[in-house]
Amino acid sequence: MPRFLRQFGLRTLLLFCFVAAVCFGLLRWHMDGIHRQHAVAKELLERNARIQWQTSGPKWLRDVVGDYYFTELVMVDLQMRGQQDQELSLLGDLPALERLYLAGNPLISDQGLDHLRTLKHVRRLSLWGTGVTDEGLSKLSHLEALEALDLKDTKVTQAGLTKLVGFKNLRELHHRLLLDDDGVTAIAQLPKLQIRDLKVNGLTERGFALLKNISFTQLTIENTQYADWPRHLISHPTMTEIVGHQSRTNSASFKQMLASKQFTLIRLKDVPVSDEILPELAVQKSLGNLLLSGTEITADEFLRQFAARDPQQIYINDVSVRMLENGMPWINVVYSGKVVMERISGLDGIQNTTTLSLVAKQDVVDLSHLPDKTLLKRVWIQGTLKDADWHKLAMQEELHTIIVIGKDQPFTSVGLLTMKDRETLRSLRLDIGKLSNEHLAAIGEFRSLEALILGPDSNVTSEGFQRLIGLKNLKALEIDFSEQVDDQILAELAKLEGLETVTIGRSLLTDEGISYLRKMPNLTELGIRHTSRSPSDLLRLQEALPSVKVRLR
pLDDT for the residue numbered 486: 80
Range name among 236-245, 432-441, 539-548 with the lowest pLDDT average:
539-548
If we measure between CA atoms, which residue out of 254, 255, 284, 290 comes closest to residue 269?
290
**Residue 137 contacts by C-beta under 8 Å, 6 or more apart in sequence?**
156, 160, 163, 164
Question: pLDDT by residue (tens digit) across 488-512?
Answer: 888 898 899 999 999 987 666 777 8
What confidence score (pLDDT) does residue 280 get?
Answer: 96
List, for residues 99-139, the tens digit of each pLDDT value: 999 999 999 999 999 999 999 999 999 999 999 999 999 99
Share the mean pLDDT of the chain: 89
Q: Which amino acid is at 530?
A: H
In whole angstroms, give the CA distance from residue 15 to residue 426.
101
Angle of helix 511-518 relative to helix 535-544, nearest 10 degrees, comes to 40
Closest alpha carbon to 290 in 52, 305, 276, 300: 305
- φ and ψ at residue 94, rounded to 5 degrees: -120, 75
**Residues 312-346 pLDDT 10s:** 999 999 999 999 987 655 789 999 999 999 899 99
Element (H, E) at 215: strand 215-222
d(CA 400, CA 393) in angstroms, rounded, equals: 10
For 215, other C-beta atoms within 10 Å of its C-beta total: 16
Amino acid identity for residue 200 in this structure: V
Q: What band does 307 get if pLDDT is binned at 50, 70 and 90? A: very high
Closest CA to 125 of 144, 166, 488, 58: 144
Count other C-beta atoms under 10 Å from residue 154's C-beta: 23
Angstrom distance (rounded) from CA 75 to CA 77? 7
Q: Measured between alpha carbons, how far is 351 from 281 in angstroms, rounded to an integer?
A: 19
**If you write DSSP's letter for every residue of 280-296 in order, what string do you get?**
HHHT-TT--EEEEESSS
Taking 60 as the threshold, does the pLDDT of residue 3 lie above it? no
Task: With CA atoms as reference, report the closest residue to 394 among 369, 366, 423.
Answer: 423
Listed in sequence order, the residues at least 6 apart from 194 whose beta carbon sits closer than 8 Å to its beta carbon are 171, 172, 215, 216, 238
* 3-class DSSP string for 398-409: CCCEEEEEECCC
Alpha-carbon 506 to chain mean position: 42
Q: pLDDT by residue (tens digit) across 383-413? A: 999 999 999 999 999 999 999 998 888 899 9
3-class DSSP state of 432:
strand
Q: Read off the pLDDT band of 257 (50, 70, 90).
A: very high
Tens-place pLDDT, residues 24-35: 555 555 567 788
Q: How far is Cα 473 from Cα 497, in angstroms, rounded to an integer? A: 9
- Please name the residue ranges forming H helices in 325-382: none
- For residue 239, the tally of other CB atoms under 10 A from its CB is 19
Query: In this predicted model, which residue has the larger pLDDT, 61 or 493?
Result: 493
Q: How far apart are CA 431 and CA 429, in angstroms?
A: 6
Per residue in 523-548, pLDDT (tens digit) is: 999 888 766 566 676 777 788 888 88
Q: Average the pLDDT over each of 67-76, 178-187, 251-260 and give the range with the smallest value.
A: 67-76
Burial of 176 (0-12, 13-18, 19+ CB in 10 A): exposed
Query: What value, to the nearest 5°, has the Cα angle with vertex 329 and ends 325 and 333?
Result: 45
Cis before 456 (ω within 30): yes
The domains located in the chain, with CATH, are 16-177 (3.80.10.10)
Asked if 476 and 426 touch (Cβ cutoff 8 Å), the reply is: no
Burial of 5 (C-beta count, 10 Å sphere; 0-12/13-18/19+): exposed
Report the percentage of the chain scoring pLDDT > 70. 90
pLDDT at 505: 78
**What is the Cα–Cα distance from 342 to 361, expressed in whole angstroms?**
11
User: E strands within 97-214?
Assistant: 99-101, 124-126, 148-150, 172-174, 194-201
* Model pLDDT, residue 175: 94
Question: Is residue 363's pLDDT more than 90?
Answer: no
